[in-house]
Amino acid sequence: MVKRLLAFARQSPAEDRLLDMNELLREEAGLLERTTLADVIRLLVEQSGGLLAAEDFNPLPCSDPNCCSFTYVARRPLIPLTRIVIANDPVPQALRRVFGGYRHFGREIVWNVPDVLKNYMPHDMPVYLDMALRKYYLTRRQALDEGVIPALEPVPGRARLYVAPVKNSLTKLLQGEFAIMREGLLDTLDTLAPGYILDTGTAYDATTMQKAAAAGCDFLVVPEIEAHKLPNEGGSYYVSLIQTVYRVGDGNAVSVGSYGSNTNVLTPLLALMHGARSMYHDSASWINVK
Is residue 136 situated within a structural domain?
yes
**Rounded CA gap, 202 and 215, in Å?**
18
Comparison of pLDDT for 256 and 135, the residue scoring more: 256
**What tens digit of pLDDT does each residue of 47-71 get?**
877 777 787 777 765 666 677 777 7
> What's phi and psi for 136, nearest 5 deg?
-65, -50
- Whether 81 has a pLDDT exceeding 90, the answer reads no
Is residue 8 situated within a structural domain?
no
**What tens digit of pLDDT does each residue of 1-51 get?**
556 655 655 555 555 667 777 777 777 666 666 777 888 888 888 887 777
The Cβ of residue 50 has, within 10 Å, a number of other Cβ atoms equal to: 7
Comparison of pLDDT for 149 and 242, the residue scoring more: 242
- Whether 226 has a pLDDT exceeding 90, the answer reads yes
187 and 147 Cβ atoms separated by less than 8 Å: no
Boundaries of domain holding 52? 18-71
- Whether 205 has a pLDDT exceeding 60, the answer reads yes
pLDDT band at 85 (very low <50, low <70, confident <90, very high): confident
Is residue 109 situated within a structural domain?
yes
Same-domain check for residues 134 and 84: yes
Same-domain check for residues 263 and 140: no
The percentage of the chain sitting over the pLDDT mark of 70, rounded to a whole number, equals 77
| Confidence at residue 98, expressed as pLDDT on a 0 to 100 scale | 58
Same-domain check for residues 94 and 67: no
> What's phi and psi for 180, nearest 5 deg?
-75, -35
Helix (H, G, I), strand (E, B) or coil at 31: helix
Same-domain check for residues 112 and 187: no
| Across 46-50, 112-116, 200-204, least confident range | 46-50
| Confidence at residue 119, expressed as pLDDT on a 0 to 100 scale | 85
Number of folded domains that form the chain: 3
Q: ∠ CA 32-34-40 to the nearest 5 degrees?
A: 135
Is residue 2 situated within a structural domain?
no
Largest CA distance in the chain: 102
Q: Closest by alpha carbon to 212, among 224, 192, 198, 230? A: 198
Same-domain check for residues 51 and 106: no
- Residues 6 or more apart from 224 whose CB is under 8 A from it? 166, 167, 169, 241, 242, 243
- Residues 6 or more apart from 288 whose CB is under 8 A from it? 159
pLDDT (mean) for 241-259: 95
Sign of torsion over alpha carbons 209, 215, 220, 223: negative
| Confidence at residue 23, expressed as pLDDT on a 0 to 100 scale | 78
Same-domain check for residues 173 and 100: no
Same-domain check for residues 98 and 206: no
